[in-house]
Amino acid sequence: MPAETAVCQLLERQAMDYRGWLWVAPPRDAWLEEGEGRLLSADHAVVEAWRARGRLASSALADDPCHEPVPPPGAVLFWPKSHALGEWWLLRLCQALPAGTPLQVAGENNGGIKRALKVLAALGLGCRKRDSARRCTLYETRLEPVSLNPDLAWSRFEAEGLTLASHPGVFGHGKLDDGTRLLLERLPALLPEGDAAMGESETQHAVLDVGCGDGILAAWLARRGAAVTAVDVNAFAVEATRRTLAANALPGEALASDVYSRLEGRRFDAIVSNPPFHQERAIDFGPAARLIREAPAHLAPGGQLVLVANAFLPYPDLLEAAFGSFEVLADDRRFRVYRAVRR
C-alpha cells in the first residue's frame, strides 16, 4: 500500500532497505503498518494498531524498546511538534541503541523539523540533509553516547494545592490549563465529597477521568474521596498521572487507553474530561466525539458527563445526539463547561 501521509511519502521514495528498522513516534499510516520493522511510540492507539497486525511494538517508556536481543540496524524518528519532546526522544535513542546506529529524522517543514538541527548539534550529533519533498525534510546522522539522562525531562509544579508531575508532550505541560481551571470551579457542586479516608467504598463515587494529562483532575477528585480511574492514549500522560497521585499520596489507577478501549463493561457515576481535539496541527474531533457518543454506555443510570471544551467546538450537537439534552454550566467565551446526564 502506498504511503498516506506526506512524511511517509518522503520516506517511501528513499533508496533504503528499512527492513528491521525501528520506527519512532510515527503517525498512523498503512504503509508503515503493513511494512517492515518495529515500532516505538507513546501513542497507545498506534501501538495497538501495530500489534493487531502482528507487528513488534513497544511503548515509549518500556524498559526494552527493542524487544529482541539483536538491536535494529537503524531508526527513523518522526520529529514531534514539541521541541522538548524531540530532544527526549533523541536522548532515549542514544541511551537504548548502540553507538553508531544510523538515525534518520523526518518531519514536516511547518511542524518544526528544522529545529531538530539545533538539538542534534547541541548533543554533538552531526547530521546532513538527505532529502526534502512534499514540504517535509529528512536528515540523517548516527547515534553516539550522550551523558544527559532522558529522565531529566520530568518536572513538577504546584496547582490547586497539589503537586503535579509533567513531561514534554503532555497536555498543559508545566502549567494549569485555563479550561481545566474553569472545570474545577464547577465540579464541587456536581460531585459531593466521599470518605476515602474511612475506606468505605459505599460512600465513594466511581469517577473516570478521560484524557488525564498530568493528573490534575484525577488527583483533585481522589482528594475529595472519589474512586478514580484515569485514562489517556499518551504513555507520558499515564505515567505523569501515576506520579502525580503518588506525589500526593492519593489512591487511583491510571491506564493507557484509547478513550474507552481498556474499559469494556465498566460503568462510572461520573465521567470528567478536558478532551483533546487536535492531532499535531490538524483539527480532529475523533477522540472527543467518541468520548461523548460512547459515554452513556459507560455511565451508571443517573451518571453524568462533565467536560470543558473550547467554545467554538461543535460539541452541543454531539451531546444532544448522545444524551437527548445537556446544559452549559459555564461560558467565559473561551471555554464552556457542559453537563449531560444519562437518564
Per-residue pLDDT tens over the stretch 280-311: 444 456 789 999 999 999 999 999 999 999 99
pLDDT in tens, 87-133: 999 999 999 999 999 999 999 999 899 999 999 999 999 999 999 99
pLDDT at 278: 55
pLDDT at 56: 92
pLDDT at 24: 98
Whether 301 contacts 309, CB under 8 Å: no
All domains of the chain in start order, with CATH: 6-151 (3.40.50.150), 154-341 (3.40.50.150)
Mean pLDDT confidence for 235-253: 98
Query: What distances in angstroms separate CA 32 from CA 4, 22, 213, one per listed residue?
Result: 9, 11, 28
**Residue of 326, 200, 221, 325 whose CA lies nearest to 272:** 221
Query: Band of the pLDDT at 137, cuts 50, 70, 90?
Result: very high
Query: Band of the pLDDT at 202, cuts 50, 70, 90?
Result: low
pLDDT at 204: 84
* pLDDT score of 66 more than 90: no
Count of alpha carbons within 13 Å of 339, Cβ hemisphere only?
16
* pLDDT score of 209 more than 70: yes
pLDDT at 197: 43
The percentage of the chain sitting over the pLDDT mark of 70, rounded to a whole number, equals: 94
Q: Which residues contact 316 (CB under 8 A, 6 or more apart)?
A: 326, 338
pLDDT at 219: 98
Identify the weakest region by mean pLDDT among 61-70, 126-135, 214-223, 254-263.
61-70
* pLDDT score of 86 more than 70: yes
pLDDT at 195: 55
**Residue of 219, 240, 221 whose CA lies nearest to 167:** 240
pLDDT at 211: 96
The percentage of the chain sitting over the pLDDT mark of 90, rounded to a whole number, equals: 86
Identify the weakest region by mean pLDDT among 34-48, 188-202, 238-252, 256-270.
188-202
**What does the block give as the cell for 68?**
529482541
Query: Band of the pLDDT at 279, cuts 50, 70, 90?
Result: very low
Whether 39 contacts 26, CB under 8 Å: yes
pLDDT at 1: 83
pLDDT in tens, 306-326: 999 999 988 999 999 999 999
Classify each residue of 176-204 as buried b or exposed e, where b means 16 or more C-beta atoms within 10 Å of its C-beta: bbebbebbbeebeeebeebebeeeeeeeb
Q: Which residues contact 83 (CB under 8 A, 6 or more apart)?
A: 112, 115, 119
Distance CA 288, CA 259 (A): 8
**What does the block give as the cell for 41?**
511510540
Say which residue, 155 or 70, is predicted with more confidence: 155
* pLDDT score of 78 more than 90: yes
Q: What is the DSSP letter of 26?
A: P
Burial class (CB within 10 angstroms; exposed 0-12, middle 13-18, buried 19+) of 157: middle
Whether 154 contacts 164, CB under 8 Å: no
pLDDT at 198: 40
